[in-house]
Amino acid sequence: MKALLLENIHSDAVKTLTARGFEVVTHPGAMNEDELISALQGVDYLGIRSRSFVTRRVLDNAPGLKGVGAFCIGTNQIDLDAATEKGVAVFNAPYSNTRSVVELAICEIIAMARHLTDRNRDMHAGVWNKSAAGSHEVRGRTLGIVGYGNIGSQLSVVAESLGMRVYFYDVADRLALGNAQRVDSLEELLGVAETISLHVDGRAENKGMFGAEQFAQMRPRALFLNLCRGPVVDLDALHDNLVSGKVAGAALDVYPSEPKTKDEPFISRLQNLPNVILTPHIGGSTQEAQVDIGRYVAGKLADYEDLGSTSMAVNLPDVTAGLKPAARVVHLHHNVPGVLARLNSVLAEYNMNIGSQTLSTKGQVGYAVTDVHGDNIDGLLHRLEQLPETIRVRVL
């Protein structure tokens, strides 16, 4: 099996895949659509981070591709509908860099509350500005979290341990951790919190969710953080509220448009504002997180290849497949009535004895993993490929 890993994915991913029998090719940067199409010829698995986009056109021109690993949290850079239609499994790392993002958020909240960036700049300019004016402890202050998923909920716990009062808003029904309190609307959250931190995902409906209307609803002199997705925030509205003083400080790690390489310039209206912390999408960029992400996603790709396991796949039905016997048939198909009966009928045609069978469905697709004993596996594979419901079938 051949895997292509882009964007400086951690070397532990290479080690994990190599140990599982993969030939691994690495490329330090992102690739555009045409480059990716060319590079994927003869490649079975692709690993990316956030700057390479796996579009429908890419998938249309990579018929041999079996899986894509997003070595990060987000998968909005991948056309998941097209991947599912093509039978390409997509895996990500939903938990591996959670702590890293949380620690950056806490660091920036404290830095803004204490005006550390201002004091640092003054000192480098030779100015000794030893003053408590405008500096505050975070203990006893109120944090509002928008999005209470893996990162938002852990930020809640860590912030509370520092003595902060935590409120959160989420469109999904989430269990409050510790003493955190859920509110019923974003407007209610903005009216009560002194610091707002965004932790929503990259789905289309979240684009532009935080703009002039939401900044107007915030408390005067509140702090604002966006460490989730760049398109979520209207940067022009944020700029205006920072200049007017309505927002006392902001910290951003993600942007609507980001350079693809370090050689491209970063340009933003928020540059050179004294009350803004800008970081280059490094929320999950700690050594600990990158090691864990590399091992985790590479392991998922290898398990899918070797065992047919789709556990934690983003776009396919979830089947946890253990050690396989002599032969395992993995059948990804359109989720229509009677497909399992037709699959088993073909197995019977070829005198296959079923040792175990698992079926899981997700939306319009189904995934069946069947351990079989029998001869003429090649003929069986060809026959299953001819079933009209088949999206992709493999015999392991």
Residues labelled catalytic = 229, 258, 281
* DSSP bridge partners of 293: none
Q: Token pair for residue 132?
A: 């408590």
User: Euclidean distance between the first and final Cα of the chain, in Å?
Assistant: 13
Q: Token pair for residue 297?
A: 């996603």
Amino acid at 283: G
CA–CA separation, 5 and 7 (whole Å): 7
Answer yes or no: are the C-beta atoms of 43 and 9 closer than 8 Å: no
Amino acid at 123: M
Q: Token pair for residue 113?
A: 């509350």
CA–CA separation, 53 and 276 (whole Å): 29
Cβ contacts of 82 within 8 Å, gap of 6 or more:
55, 56, 59, 60
DSSP state letters, 211-276: SHHHHHHSPTTEEEEE-S-GGGB-HHHHHHHHHHTSEEEEEES--SS--SSTTSPP--TTTT-TTE
SS3 of residue 232 by DSSP? helix
At CA 172, angle to CA 170 and CA 177, rounded to 5? Answer: 65
Cβ contacts of 339 within 8 Å, gap of 6 or more:
333, 366, 387, 389
CA–CA separation, 126 and 210 (whole Å): 38
Answer yes or no: are the C-beta atoms of 9 and 46 closer than 8 Å: no
H helix or E strand, kind and range, residue 177: none
